[in-house]
Amino acid sequence: MSKSLKLIISTVGLFVLVIIGWQIVDETLNAQPLSKEQAMDKIQGQYHGTITDFVSMDDHYLATIELEKGLYEIAVLKDNGQIADMKRIEEGAEEDDNSPEPPRDEKTDSEKPITEEQARESALKEVDGTVDDVDFETEDEVSFYLVEVEKEDESEATIQVHAITGEIMTVSWDD
């Protein structure tokens, strides 16, 4: 290989690396915070409920959404769109209103996590297959189950199920 060919290949390679580096830096510097519409779309797309109230705070949005199981308050971070917190603020209509109040030292039903079996059922409604593993985890004060489901074609999905509502938070696929 001649010196001039090596010089041309090196110059082209350096040029490609500079362009790739410039695009990465440009995307990082121009990252826009999540807009109100994007946050609302994310919440409705993930929970399939009706947003009844939506407030912009300093670093997050606070939405109130009505689901079958009740009224929930959801905090969505503006910088990355992550669900930071979710809590039930009112029971759903199908709940028994005549039930006695729980003792003060026990958690109410809205604060109790769903069972592992309920998490499995929610995951299997989202992805049909066989459950391999279920783990209970808490991250940033949000509790959830990670349910691994293997399909017949041997692809595997990890489904994140909210530990309080039983709603599907994310579905990711392993190759």
Q: What is the CATH number of the domain that holds 136?
A: 3.10.450.40
Is pLDDT at 95 greater than 50 in this prediction?
A: no
Is residue 69 situated within a structural domain?
yes
Contacts 24+ apart (CB under 8 A), 23-32: 31/79
Instruction: State whether 41 and 86 are in the same domain.
Output: yes
Is residue 26 situated within a structural domain?
no
With a CB cutoff of 8 Å and minimum separation 6, the contacts of 46 are: 83, 167, 168, 169
Q: Where are the alpha helices (DSSP H) in the chain?
A: 3-29, 36-47, 116-126
Helix (H, G, I), strand (E, B) or coil at 79: coil
Work out how many domains the chain is built from and give that number: 2
pLDDT tens digit string along 58-70?
Answer: 889 999 998 877 8
pLDDT at res. 31: 66
Is pLDDT at 113 greater than 80 in this prediction?
A: no
pLDDT at res. 112: 67
Report how far residue 164's alpha carbon sits from residue 141's, in angstroms, rounded to the nearest whole number: 12
Is residue 59 situated within a structural domain?
yes
Is residue 46 situated within a structural domain?
yes
Is residue 22 situated within a structural domain?
no
Domain that holds residue 75: 33-91
Given 58, 75, 91, the domain boundary residue is 91
Is pLDDT at 51 greater than 70 in this prediction?
A: yes
Instruction: State whether 37 and 78 are in the same domain.
Output: yes
